[in-house]
Structure 1
Amino acid sequence: MKQQVLPILRLRSSPLSCRLFSTTVRRDATYGFIGLGKMGAPMAANLRTKLPKEDTLYIFDVNKAATTEFQQKFGSGVQVASSVGEVVEHSETIITMLPEPAHVAGVFKTLTASPPPPLKSGTQRLFIDSSTIDVSTSLAVSRSVSECKSLNGTFVDAPVSGGVVGAAAGTLTFMLGGHESILPRAKEILSLMGARILPCGAPGTGLAAKLANNYLLAISNIGVAEAMRLGQKLGLEKDVLKNVINVSSGKCWSSEINNPIDNELKGFEGGFGVALMKKDLGLAVQAAQACGAKLEMAEKAQEVYATVLQKEGSKDFSIVYKWLKDRET
């Protein structure tokens, strides 16, 4: 009788189906997310959605309404912690997404001053900070985590590009700075919240890349606004000018994806706020002063964003266009 040959089934594994753990016994993984603001909430939502349902996500935010809403949305796979210490006590991987350097420094000062015990599993905790802060604060936090032996942790900086839209869609770009040995584990987690993970080098280099990029963005946004007004004042239709720029050497993100004439139709609502651009520009200038880099356009750009914030509030930063337009009349 001819022996029947059964077909081999090839199972496609999920991003986290292969755990980075030394034990071969299946156990549920635990994650923490600190900071559920405009960026953090959609990032944490993507993380929770794409994690195996057996895994647990611990969350914390000073805004209790944000954590309550998040738990109601996702149910039993989410645990609301009463403190950052409780998040870390239970979690193997902890992501922080906070507004200012002082917030990040404060969280880690609390953790290292009164650290939770090491995880019973022996797994080293991985701290991923996606906040946009200054490099010196990030490096100081990284050192404090390494020096706190009872915390048993390691730290990477992973600021993002892509804004609220990218956070919601899971298409963020992460600029990753950290020791090479930990990058595969960090990239595995970040891939659940973004489309591109760009290793930049040693600790602090992710933030260095982010600040350099956002300095350029601050300048190009003003340049696009000025060019659009110049062309229109010279008699060009705004859509014609936009199309010319976007097939010519002046093309950039601010002209193609975030063009002010498109955002004007939406009242410049949403997007990357003027206050955030002012903050990031300030961090870039601070970094330049520390390392001796010359930024000839910085002072005027800072003046522009400070004035626009005062006049227009924190709408999308392309509202510089409206500010220029209003000054012409």
Structure 2
Amino acid sequence: MFQGTGSGVGKSVIAAGFCRLLKNRGYQVRPYKSQNMALNSGVTPDGLEIGRAQIVQALACGVEPDARMNPILLKPQGPGVSQLIRMGKVVQTCSAREYYTLAEENFEVAKEAMRSLREECDWLMIEGAGSPAEINLQKTDIVNMRLAEAAEARVMLIGDIDRGGVFAWLKGTYDLIQPQHRPLLKGMLINKFRGDVNLLQPGIDMFAEHVPVPVLGVIPWLELDLEDEDSQNLKSKRIPDPEITVAVVRLPYLSNFTDFDPLKQVEGLSLIFTKNPDELEQADLIILPGSKNTLHDMQFLDQSGISETLQRLRGTKWIMGICGGYQMLGQQIDDPHGMESGGSEKDLGCFP
């Protein structure tokens, strides 16, 4: 099982790498993440919704994505509110407080999915979420150390040295893990290292005096064109003297941002994710992306000045909308049944 000192440290990619490594050695491998929170999800061949990381990991295993690989998915839908998807199907929309009352029920669903997957493979590659050191969440944890205990898993803790302070992150995480769970931790990995690893070795040697869990490896920084599921990792592709500049409005509830990954492969194209109206004016094409809360994001456009900028640029720039972004280009959005946040909002009025 791969856990991390925080989000974005590389758990998903490392798990996918081990999936492919073991698959290439002739083993039957399956990926598994009990609970995921992401707006950038994907759909299995049988029409069920799971986190995109598990889809990539399934491909690394050479198998079709399966809802059991990510039985609990949370999609943020508003301040403190998320859509709960269980075994690939929407169950309800709930607040954070309501969700934690469902923790044990969700844990049972997750464990049953895990047991089912284990019956058909040699290796189950389990990924944790965020950090196991969130001490306020440990009692209701269904994705990190309580899951590792239920699975009798050997845990590898991953730290991101590119962010700085990796030894403090690893030591702090170890110290805050509950004592009964520390024996599950079998090793640590330092990820995203740039430079001469020999210069890091003295630090690894000294670290062994503070934590009784060995650092088993250092993984170099790799430029990988893999789909991401976390918007905090969303990166623009800025190039000097581009032939064309595409600006994507970075909405608060932007969803399915991997729609734009192919544009990053186009030579001479600069792709910018932005909330800055001035950058929109410099673009050749402006895209309003999909949204998990279209009404809220329409309010954001109004409050940020982007609505005014887009209306002024009509007829002088190409403006395109995808999914919820397309709805924003109309006259008005109505949500009478509260499917997202409820109510109505005036749109940009770009077409009838």
TM-score scaled by length of structure 1: 0.32
For CA contacts below 8 A with separation 6 or more, give which structure has more relative contact order. 2
Instruction: Give the strand-richer structure, 1 or 2.
Output: 2
Instruction: Give the helix-richer structure, 1 or 2.
Output: 1
